[in-house]
Amino acid sequence: MSAAAALVAAVSLPLGVFWANVTPAGATLLVSGYPDRGPGCVFLRVDPRTLRSARSRGSCSRTGRLTPDVRPNPRSQWQRVYVAGRLAFAYNDASDTRPQWAYGGGSLWLYDVATTSGAQLLRFSLGTGRLQRRWRFPVRLFRPVLAANDDGAWLMAATNGGVSGAASAALYHVAPRAARVRIVQRGARAALWMTVSAHALWLETVTRYSTFTLWRYDGTRGRRLWQLHRIVVGDASYSGGALWGTTPGCNGKQQVQAVRLDPATGARRVIGSVPLSDCEEPTAGPYFHGAFWFVVGHSLYRITA
């Protein structure tokens, strides 16, 4: 189906919020973000059929999942992070040292590069909130792209991150019961994005500045689906049996395209597009109720193709 045949609808999101996530929540969509001023999170529940929405505000942990709780200390650079009410670690707060986390295999995986014990990865049970394992990371990995599935956690430096003392990035894998961190890929400069299913991982890497590669890993065995000299999608998610992504916002075309990728071959199909008034980066969301959802700036888009 061509992009022209797509049906596009939009929901205006409140101003004063950096909208960062779109996830299914029962029969509704939960759009969440961080206010320009003050702590906490802002939530918008959207009915996928009527597009009616209701806004609320509260703790970032109210999504129903076990979520790390960062408790700021205005009198110190060292901030404490709690999980299920227990101290996970303290970290030295800076723009490139803040905690990152992902969910997979019944676990919450929590990483930080600048804890009091160095770079660490922790695994917590989603059922009990208890710490199951802690790994000292072998390198200082700043601003990683992080994902997790039934086979464990996956980390690689983002384009605005890096590895202390290294010119290139590696793809790190940590199995739930492994004794140490394992490297499964070397040579790329960074990862643009990762997305997972039960035992599969997809990621797009960039080598130098103009070679973009889509990889699929089944377990820890990876294969290249394609390699191009342009960015196809700047972010993507797996749902509804396919990969759904958006072209980068700063693309010189004054529009963002929604793209479907075949998860087995990487074959690409544009399903629709939306106008872009500024250099805003889209946030890839899910395929939900027969449509692909994503956020650009202060708009939530629904594309049905």
The pair of structure tokens assigned to 239 is 């749902």
Domain count of the chain?
Answer: 1
pLDDT tens digits along 210-223:
999 999 999 999 99
Instruction: Pick 164 or 194 by higher pLDDT.
Output: 194
Q: What is the pLDDT at residue 5?
A: 62
The pair of structure tokens assigned to 227 is 């390699």
User: Cα(first)–Cα(last) distance of the chain, in Å?
Assistant: 7
159 lies in some domain: yes
185 lies in some domain: yes
Residue 3 has pLDDT above 50, yes or no: no
Domain range enclosing 86: 65-194
Beta bridge partners of 215: 203, 224
Q: What is the pLDDT at residue 63?
A: 59
103 lies in some domain: yes
Which of 45-59, 172-186, 284-298 is the least confident region?
45-59
Q: What is the pLDDT at residue 177?
A: 96
The pair of structure tokens assigned to 104 is 């997979």
Cα(186)–Cα(83) distance, integer angstroms: 32
Cα(29)–Cα(127) distance, integer angstroms: 23
The sign of the torsion formed by the CA atoms of 217, 221, 226, 228 equals: positive
pLDDT tens digits along 34-66:
888 777 789 999 999 999 999 987 766 555 689
Contacts of 74 (CB under 8 A, 6+ apart): none
3-state secondary structure of 231: coil
275 lies in some domain: no
Chain-wide mean pLDDT for the chain?
A: 92
Cα(22)–Cα(254) distance, integer angstroms: 23
| Residues 171/158, Cβ–Cβ less than 8 Å | no
Q: What is the pLDDT at residue 1?
A: 36
pTM of the model: 0.92
18 lies in some domain: no
245 lies in some domain: no
CA distances from 19 to 10, 143, 144 (A): 14, 19, 20
Residue 171 has pLDDT above 80, yes or no: yes
Q: What is the pLDDT at residue 62?
A: 56
Q: Containing H/E element for 199?
A: none
The pair of structure tokens assigned to 60 is 């970032």
Q: How many CA atoms lie within 13 A of 188 on its CB side?
A: 26
107 exposure class (CB count in 10 Å sphere: 0-12, 13-18, 19+): buried
For residue 284, which of 253, 251, 252, 259 has the smallest C-alpha distance?
Answer: 259
Instruction: Pick 161 or 165 by higher pLDDT.
Output: 161
142 lies in some domain: yes
Read off the pLDDT band of 168 (50, 70, 90): confident
256 lies in some domain: no
pLDDT tens digits along 217-256:
999 999 999 999 999 999 999 999 999 999 987 766 788 9
Q: What is the mean pLDDT of residues 104-126?
A: 98
Residue 82 has pLDDT above 80, yes or no: yes
Q: What is the pLDDT at residue 258?
A: 95
**Tokens 């959802």, residue?**
293
